[in-house]
Amino acid sequence: MTHLDDVLLIAAHSARSQAYVQTLAAHGLMPSHALLLGEAPQSPTTPSEPARELMGVLLPDLGIPLSRTLADCDVPITCLATRDINYQQVIDAVRERAPRLVIFSGYGGQIVKPPLIELGIPLLHVHSGWLPDYRGSTTVYYSLLEEGVCAASAILLDTQIDTGPVLARKRYPAPPLGTDIDRRYDTAIRADLLLEVLRRYQASGELDVVLQQEAEQGNTYYVIHPVLKHLALLSLPGAAD
């Protein structure tokens, strides 16, 4: 197991964070420290689906607690009660660790504010969608409806929504009908691209920007209507003709 000495993970207790650490663990590449936000959920009462590979990405086992995967990989953990990425305690903890890179996997719907960004430490976020064409929320479903594929984009966060410099973009095939897109496939493709970016960073020590976005270009989407989401799911391979 390789630990990236200058990389800090900030993580919510979420399916995305589970996908991130399970994919990184499977490939032997982990951050040197993890900052976990909020309270861990109770263990599920029903068995979870085991992790498995699907079309080249690893669907996570959502029954494995985030903290267990990190502990199994000897990643030290600091737990903070707050869920707010902009809380002063979070900023202080990042400043104290002084990493060269932060992997951001916080709670959804939060915009990182200037105090954290002004620390000058790159905040790596993997967005679900091909930027700048698909900014905003639930973009995986809009992409399926309009293009028949999914995508992920690795960016450095700024104070706007999904407008930061792009480090990598990748398209992924639509998953088969019946796949848990929200919690397993969408998180798995993001984890796959995160792994690619971290491998490049490990090799070069640099974060190469492939696209500087213009905020006025591209499209911003909002939470998809249930009917449109249903149509997107019906478009998946294996759906009835």
DSSP states along 14-41: SHHHHHHHHHHHHTTEEEEEEEEESPPP
What's the confidence (pLDDT) of residue 238?
86
Summarised one tens digit per residue, pLDDT across range 73-109 is 999 999 999 999 999 999 999 999 999 999 999 998 8
User: If residue 77 lies in a helix (H) or strand (E), which one and from where to where?
Assistant: strand 77-80
What's the confidence (pLDDT) of residue 240?
46
Domain 2-234 grouped into CATH 3.40.50.10860: no
What's the confidence (pLDDT) of residue 75?
99
* Rg for the chain, CA atoms, rounded: 17
What's the confidence (pLDDT) of residue 43?
79
> For residues 170 and 179, what is the distance between their CA atoms, to the nearest angstrom?
20
What's the confidence (pLDDT) of residue 46?
82
Q: Residues of the chain whose pLDDT is less than 70?
A: 239-241
- This prediction's pTM: 0.96
Place of tokens 């091909």: 130
